Amino acid sequence: MSLVDQSDPLPDAPPERRPRHIAVIMDGNGRWAQRQGLPRIEGHRRGVASVRNTVEECARLGIEQLTLYCLSSENWKRPQSELDFLMHLLEQYMIEERSVIMRQNIVVKIIGRREGIPEGVQREMDKTIQMSAANTGTRLCLAINYGGRAEMVDAVQRIAADVRESRLVPESIDETTIADYLYTSGMPDPDLLIRTAGEMRISNFLLWQISYAELWVTDLCWPEFGIEQLHQAIRDFAARDRRFGGLN
């Protein structure tokens, strides 16, 4: 859709019923490519277009945060050639999307461990983060070399260190404390979790944060996911009755 089109494409999902934070498990790049008779890396290349469309539409809709599961800590088990290509795509994305990020007032954040990510890629990541830091629009959070259990391990280690140094009293530790030590400190929890390629699992993604997220799964692979599917997920979310364990 045109960036200058100010009409609301979701009149049946009023802003107050839309998710503040959408998280996406972008699955099925390789399967999509294989079905087309193409190398797996072509699926990843095509998936970048879906990323671009989704990010731009969330910014246009005023979604507060979009978190994308780009590379899990388990993905390092893949062939080195595929990992090298993923790193190349990530570096390329960080460079080529800066103009769009700045034009649409997007703030870029990255969560996950840095081990294994090439220094050149890290430099471009940091440049984009710094360049967009003063923006005030949609927060784009990229989960790279991320694992939910690893995040909890890191949080527990930091809490233990602060207790050891008497900066934290064990009796004061509650859910808010733990959330403050996670990679996502200061971010709202996801309201809506989208997964593509039909898989019915969360794959070690935001284990703490998605406790009350609404799940939306499509059989389409990530390269096939477009604005129409994003709108449908938001419509379905807006129509749900969220009780958080209580009664309405």
**Catalytic status, residue 53:** no
Q: Contact 236/197 with Cβ under 8 angstroms? A: no
**Catalytic status, residue 135:** no
Within 97-147, residue ranges assigned H as helices are 98-103, 119-132
Q: Contact 70/90 with Cβ under 8 angstroms? A: yes
The pairing of beta strand 192-195 with beta strand 21-25 = parallel
Query: How open is the CA angle 110-135-226, to the nearest 5 degrees?
Result: 65
What order of strands is seen across the sheet that includes strand 192-195?
107-111, 139-146, 65-72, 21-25, 192-195, 214-217
Q: Contact 201/179 with Cβ under 8 angstroms? A: no
75, 135, 154, 189: which is the annotated catalytic residue?
A: 75
27, 29, 145, 191: which is the annotated catalytic residue?
A: 27
Q: Which positions are annotated as active-site residues? A: 27, 75
